[in-house]
Chains A and B, each alone.
Chain A
Amino acid sequence: MDTVVLARAFFGTSLAFHIIFATLGVGIPLMIVIAEILHQVKNDNDYAIMAKRWTKAFAVLLGVAIPSGTIVGVQLSLLWPGFMEIVGKVISLPFQIELFAFFIEALFMSIYVYAADRLPKFFRIISVILVAFGAVASAILITAVNTWMNTPDGFKITKDGTIFDVNPWDAFFNPSFISSAFHVSVTAYMTGAFAVASVGAYRLLRGKLSKNESMYHKKGFLLAMIVGLVFSLISSFSGHHSAQILHEHSPEKLAAAEGLFETQRYAPLSIGGFTDPKTEEVKYGIEIPWMLSWLAAGKFDTKVKGLYEFPRETWPPFYVHTLFNVMVGIGFLLLGLAAVALFFWWYYSKRKMRPYPRWLLFLLIFSGPMSMLGIEFGWIFSCSGRQPWTIYRVQTTAEAATQSQNLAPLFLLFIGLYVMLGVLTILILTSYFKRNPVSKEFEKYSGY
């Protein structure tokens, strides 16, 4: 592999690993906040137990999220020095503000975890709200840098690469920032909810629960389903809006995502299949006539640009069509599952019956991992769909990459690190919750 491909594989692996923990790190705190508030409102200790157990899981995940985030942040300079030189001049502002958000999260996380028993209730809730705020703010600010790579703004550059006329705030609020940052946040909330739902579904399906435990898991599961439904619904709208931004600002990315070669009005939407590089068309896909034009700008006669419109060497790879489809497909599947689950709950609990059929619980065990997969596919789509550019139409990935030659052994070292951390995280979480089952928690709270 040449250095550029190696650098991409290396950095991609680091990000793919980090994004799991980062996404849960945004999603789970929201669930904790909701549980803490429900505990106060309903005066039901089950919610306090939920908050406590989710916090424990969150703390473990944060233990990986922080160092893996540190790795990603520093590796940017190590693997993409050419890129960071421009970043430093133009878009270092959100990076820096992100640090403050990160400080807020780390400060109040320590306070919430290590000082909860010494704090008044009110302050405890404020602490956990600030943790959740810090987490989502970090995600939004980092997304600002990524969106700036997709739709760069706020500077001018001469042919020889001198940068002038910098406006850091314009770079920050680049055209795709608001839409993408919103999409990143709501999909993270959706993933956090489905991660909780997965665990709940597993417990409910396995049965052998005491009455208390069953009540506890049902409450948690229902809460996760409601939050999951709300945020997957919002995600679908915000995803749609993001695609419209693509139509406006990154037409070749949209064309590659849809496998569209000819520029046309009344463009069809192709779902599934793959883009055949020889015949230059989508094979085995389902075509919905006129739909793409309508989705792109709300009118059937919208002109959608095809790949032939652009020089061949700037085409994104064809596989982004599949990435895009999987991301969208997972989104709709989860939206449907959550809606069905809530329908069953509404229908059966009125009739005092067991609310969820077993097949549904079985499917919902996979909702958390699937949601995470959707996030991964979305990020890979966003970044490979921008190729060959690192900064769209400003800097190619090859120009940005490091020229150091010894990447391969380091890459292997870090793959080993990620495997080890991943395995350890799973072991730690399972062994902790096995030794501290919910039933133990009820004993502690029975004195209230």
Chain B
Amino acid sequence: MNEEVIAILVLWTFIFIYSIFGSIDFGAGFWAMVYHEHRTSAGKIANRFLSPTWELTNVFLVLLVVAFVGFFPKGAFTLGTVLLIPVSLILFLLAVRSAFMVFSYSVQGYRKTMFFISGICGVLIPALLITVLPVSQGGFISGFNGRDVLLIGKLFTSPSLYMYILFGLTSELFLSSLFLADYSKVSKQEGAYRLYRGNALLLGPLTLIAAVVTLMFLQPEANWLIDNLYDQRMWFILSFLAFLVGYTSLWMRNSDMDTAGKPRLALLAIVAQYGFASYGYGMAHLPYIVYPGLTIYDAFTAKETFYSLMIMYAVGLAILTPGFYVFWRLFLKDKRYLQQE
């Protein structure tokens, strides 16, 4: 493996991790809005998870951008130029959402507004984030007077974009339901658990349908990708198997509650499902960052910078791991936090 491939592997891993955590984060915001004042504790549970974690998830998003600039500066140049408008909108929504999240904990009067804003942003931000995928597959950028321009009209009238958004949103809600089902179970809230489990059962098959439909609606410029995806079919078969394991485990008997299901196992299997699929997709996408103009080889950083970045990632990970462990113990495991009224 050469440096470029290692760099894209690391970056793609970050993207994968963020897509999981981001889905759970934004999804929890959405469910907190939907189940605000619901008779079960479903809304409360979503919020209890969100309060201490959203800042970390947000930091991870910045990490993605920084890693991208560091590993593939030319890619940052191209995407920075092309995605000015969608990314600016994402930033705008993120700022509004984060501010209201914090404000609502200081002033009770803002609670309702906050649930609403955070819930709506929880749908809009992921929808805008996923526009990067169709753009990277080709057909939406034109060279114009020697500079790249996003064909924003073509993008926003393309069925491919909306299929991606549909796939993105069903996945977001599926993953966050599963996660919150597990979180409810650890918190011993059977009502909330039943609700989130039900959502997951409904959304699971929908994500598969959305994925297939998205492939069918790919823009004609992305035909190169279809062939490559077919070559990577082993990954997608594995992904489907992981889905079967995850989905069926929602019916397995569980010792703590009357409602069936092993949500922890389901969550892990579904994360694996998305993991296999995203590596398959990522491999099929190579060597292009943006088709057809930009490959990982054109965009790569200076070798010296690459090596020092890699070393610092290792050091940073070593320093942060104990911190994450403590954090996990306090907010995802500690019964005093989970089972408070």
Contacts and interface: CB of A to CB of B under 8 A. Distances in A.
Q: How large is the interface on B (under 10, 10 to 19, 20 to 34, 35 or more residues)?
A: 35 or more
Interface in A47-77: 56, 59-60, 62-64, 66-71, 73-75, 77
A354 to B, nearest CB: 34
A102 interface: yes
B6 interface: no
B161 interface: no
Given A63-B101, A417-B95, A431-B107, A85 B76 contact: yes
Interface stretch (A31-39, A165-173, A334-342): A165-173
A291 interface: no
A64 B99 contact: yes
A410 B85 contact: yes
B273 to A, nearest CB: 28
Interface in A230-270: none
B49 to A, nearest CB: 11
Contact of A88 (B56, B70, B83, B334): B70
A163 interface: yes
B62 A96 contact: no
Contacts of A100: 312, 316, 319-320
A169 B307 CA distance: 11
A432 interface: yes
Contact of B66 (A96, A108, A166): A96
A73 B65 contact: yes
B72 A88 contact: yes
A118 B336 contact: yes
A85 B59 contact: no
Interface stretch (B163-171, B232-240, B323-331): B323-331
A292 B99 CA distance: 46
Contacts of A62: 55, 102
B305 A90 contact: yes
B147 interface: yes
Contacts of A86: 73
A163 B88 CA distance: 29
Contact of B73 (A78, A88, A109): A88
A153 to B, nearest CB: 14
B313 interface: yes
Interface stretch (A307-315, A356-364, A399-407): A399-407
A67 B61 CA distance: 11
A167 to B, nearest CB: 6
B309 interface: yes
Interface string A324-361: 00000000000000000000000000000000000000
B331 A115 contact: yes
Nearest to A83: B77
A95 interface: yes
Contacts of A63: 98-99, 101-103
A99 B302 contact: no
A82 B305 CA distance: 18
A199 interface: no
Contact of A166 (B110, B302, B326): B302
B85 A406 contact: yes
A4 interface: no
Given A63-B103, A73-B66, A97 B316 contact: yes
A73 B69 CA distance: 11
11 contacts: A71-B94, A75-B88, A77-B69, A106-B55, A110-B55, A115-B334, A414-B88, A417-B92, A421-B99, A424-B103, A425-B99
Given A75-B88, A85-B77, A97-B316, 4 more contacts: A77-B79, A78-B87, A93-B70, A114-B331
